[in-house]
Amino acid sequence: MHPPRPLALLFAPLLALGVSACASTASSSSFKGEQHAVAQVISNFQSEATAGEAQKICTSVLSTALTARLNAARGGCIEALKSQLNEVDSPELTIQSVKLLGGADATAQLKSTHSGKSKVSTMTLLKEGGKWKISGLA
């Protein structure tokens, strides 16, 4: 038995929010400007998680720091994601709000519904190289 992989376990709630094989993609259409750009990253994450695109998520959607933390886990970011993608159910996801916190940080309130139960979580994002990236789940 292997010891628990805390980085992968830390990332599991992100995947639980992002994967929705049976649900529609989170909509970013109600947001404008930078808020829309932030919401679009979340929508892209959800689409790529549903499609099983672990490599694309690691290279294009996650922040450099989050990717580095996941790369420190056994098998690296891609394997950590693949493992979690295989274990996640399919909740529905709604982007409730996006808040810009200065020039390079943002948070998004996400509501996920699974088996009739709703949960609100906060996703953190930051701007790297002019693009918004997911940096964690608060």
The answer to whether 128 and 62 have CB atoms below 8 angstroms apart is no
CA distance between the termini of the chain = 29
Provide the whole-model pTM: 0.80
Q: What is the pLDDT of residue 5?
A: 37
- Look at residue 15 in the predicted model and tell me its pLDDT: 55
What the chain holds in terms of domains, given with CATH numbers, is 6-137 (3.10.450.50)
What pLDDT tens digit does each residue of the chain (138 aa) get? 444 333 344 455 565 554 433 344 466 778 999 999 999 999 898 888 888 889 999 999 999 999 999 898 888 999 988 887 776 665 567 899 999 998 899 999 998 876 778 888 999 999 999 999 999 987
> Phi-psi bin for 65: left (phi > 0), alpha (psi -120 to 50), beta?
alpha
